[in-house]
Amino acid sequence: MKGYSARAEKIMSRIEELASVSETEQGLTRTFGSGAWREAALIIQSWMQDAGLHAWIDNIGNVRGLLSSPSPGARTLVIASHMDTVINAGKFDGPLGVMMGLDLLEQLAHNHTPLPFNIQLVAFSDEEGCRFHTTYLGSKVLAGSFEPVLLEKKDADGIPLRNVIHANGSSTGLLHTDAIDAAAWLGYFEMHIEQGPVLYDRDIPVGIVKAIAGQKKAAITFEGIAGHAGTVPMDMRNDALCCAAEFILAVESIALQYKSQIVATVGKLEIANAASNVIPGAITCTLDLRSADGGILSEVYDTLQRTTAAICGRRNINFDWTVVQETSPVTCDLSLSALLSGAVKEAGYEPLELVSGAGHDAVAIAAVAPVCMLFVRCYKGISHNPLENVELKDIAAALQVADNFLQQMIYQHNQS
């Protein structure tokens, strides 16, 4: 494990360096298209070049590093995670996978390992979707599924995605050229912190992702009548915030009826023209619904829409329900996951399978390639929070597993 420990330390110091690249003075925030995001991309690109990769930044802002196989017509294995963050993020969500991938490729380049397939390392530009409320912009481009209509999406300041891409010196007309052809994909491997407490509770450093939950996200606007807080009697009000409050509690209680099969969150609430002496007239809130069971996901979503209509009808409030994003549950590839499971056992750990409630770029890639994912334990499962933490020994353990996995893949392809 000695070599892995030293390598884990280098990975950790790079993660720390990236964590200092933030659009805020305090904490870490690095959203798509920000100055900090561009700076981080250039740093990652230079590390890829130093590692001996052919590195470039594509039109959606993904940083890409290639180690080519000498075999003509060789397909491509992509190792990836993301470099964007949520607001006030932890350091490891995204960068851990990119920096571990960089270490693996650095070793292969350093050892001049002859490759039976190309390996491309990608730092995806937008997994969190914080700026444009649409996730996987980078991985959609790589998978060739980027819908041009997304270019018209606007951020909170009204700036369209199209303009942000142009401001980054890139061409929206060339986005399609950045895709890897469906036939050229060999597979996809992502390493990521678990972002949940299972590995921490079970005292296991790594886990194998067997599926990624599907998601339905919506923006809901409640429209009542703004009024004077001192003059309108309680039984004559159309208070949009009270309606939203009832909706939020309904979301919680309906999701609770499905026990551990679904999670539902209202994470954002905006009160128009908020003031202590004004009855709230309009509220916008978000709904984030996730389940590994597509049937349950749709059932709860429909129930919530019906319940919202009933609450609003009773309270005389108009509502608008807009779908923001939908992804189906994804099952990880059985044969790549079996290989990963063997790699975990070879490293001396129990091969525990987990379902990911968090979204990952693997979701977008699964449409064109077999995907697999390795989870790394994080402190108490805390994520999307500055307290997010991963221990060096777990990075070293995950690195050993990933190394076993990659060596086995190379061996198998050399045999065939």
Quick one: CA dihedral 314, 315, 321, 325, positive or negative?
negative
Query: Which residue lies nearer to Mn ion by CB, 362 or 401?
Result: 362
Q: Please give the residues from 94 up to 113 whose contact with Mn ion meets the rule CB under 5 A.
A: 94
Query: Which residue lies nearer to Mn ion by CB, 297 or 376?
Result: 376
CB of 25 to Mn ion, least distance (A): 22
CB of 325 to ligand GLV, least distance (A): 10
The site string for ligand GLV over 118-157 (x = CB under 6 A, - otherwise) reads ----------x-----------------------------
- Burial level of 110, CB count in 10 A (0-12/13-18/19+)? exposed
Query: Which residue lies nearer to Mn ion by CB, 292 or 410?
Result: 292
359 touches, from Mn ion, ligand GLV, none (C-beta below 5 to 8 Å by class): ligand GLV
Query: Which residue lies nearer to Mn ion by CB, 27 or 148?
Result: 27
CB of 135 to ligand GLV, least distance (A): 7
CB of 141 to ligand GLV, least distance (A): 18
CB of 5 to ligand GLV, least distance (A): 29
333 touches, from ligand GLV, Mn ion, none (C-beta below 5 to 8 Å by class): none
CB of 360 to Mn ion, least distance (A): 6
Query: Which residue lies nearer to ligand GLV by CB, 207 or 359?
Result: 359
CB of 190 to ligand GLV, least distance (A): 12
Minimal CB distance residue for Mn ion? 93
The site string for Mn ion over 169-208 (x = CB under 5 A, - otherwise) reads ----------------------------------------
Query: Does residue 93 bind Mn ion (CB under 5 A)?
Result: yes
Query: Which residue lies nearer to Mn ion by CB, 196 or 205?
Result: 196
Q: Please give the residues from 355 up to 374 whose contact with ligand GLV meets the rule CB under 6 A.
A: 358-359
Query: Which residue lies nearer to ligand GLV by CB, 206 or 358?
Result: 358
- Site size toward ligand GLV (CB under 6 A) is 3
Q: Footprint of Mn ion on this chain (CB under 5 A)?
A: 93-94
Q: Footprint of ligand GLV on this chain (CB under 6 A)?
A: 128, 358-359
